[in-house]
Amino acid sequence: MRGLTGERWLKARIFKIAFAGRCAIPGCRNSTMGASGTGLAAFHCRKHVEHKARHGSHWHGTYSAAELKPYLAAASSYLRPRAESDRFIKAALSAIALLLEEAGPTEIATRLRGMSPRRRARIALARLRVAGIKPERFVAIVLAITALIEEDPGSHRTKEFRTVQIAKSLHRLASGTHKRWPFVDHQV
Ligand SMILES: [Zn+2]
């Protein structure tokens, strides 16, 4: 592919990967799902496709609570004095408060199968409401994950990875409290 530049080089590279039938992750020798007839993924193997479904990236893992902790502390102390005075922060807080309020009732995990992503998202929000997670925590987590990805030189800077990391971090807050179930939920 010598002599090709920019977009043409990229197309040639993608073409090569697709026809070689090997996973595009460096060091992975597995066949792509497309090549092995196990799925439609043309560039990645099953292992890396499943990794992306879990973590939001084909190769980067989920940040631990300990890694996130200092960023969360910084984000919280940034937000606290600005919750009333900064109109953007204020707008974000009231939008999240409304989402939580309108999320409807919670549902037990076994009934989630087959539900639309939109419904599942509402149930996830309802669980956070029932677990007593405040809008301030949502905004703090978004800021903390964004800053952590920004500062981590080995991070995966895609929207999907950021979104999944935010969601996983929020989910940890809701699921860490299951021992105190059932909660009193005024919307059930
Ligand atoms: Zn692979």
User: Domain residues of the chain, as ranges?
Assistant: 6-50, 65-180
What distance in Å separates the CA atoms of residue 182 and residue 184, rounded to the nearest whole number?
Answer: 7
E strands within 1-110?
A: none
Mean pLDDT in residue range 151-165 = 94
Distance of CA 39 from the midpoint of ligand 1 (Å): 13
Distance of CA 164 from the midpoint of ligand 1 (Å): 20
Indicate yes or no: pTM above 0.85.
Answer: no
Q: Is pLDDT above 90 for 8?
A: no
Mean pLDDT in residue range 72-90 = 95
Give the tens place of pLDDT for each residue, 96-119: 999 999 998 887 766 777 888 898
Distance of CA 42 from the midpoint of ligand 1 (Å): 11
Q: Sort 125 into a burial class: Cβ within 10 Å, 0-12 / 13-18 / 19+.
A: buried
> Which pLDDT score is estimated for 185?
43
What distance in Å separates the CA atoms of residue 83 and residue 81, rounded to the nearest whole number?
Answer: 6
Distance of CA 15 from the midpoint of ligand 1 (Å): 17
Angle at the Cα of 59 from the Cα atoms of 148 and 24, rounded to 5 degrees: 140
Give the tens place of pLDDT for each residue, 42-69: 889 999 999 999 999 999 999 999 999 9
Cis peptide before 26 (omega within 30 of 0): no
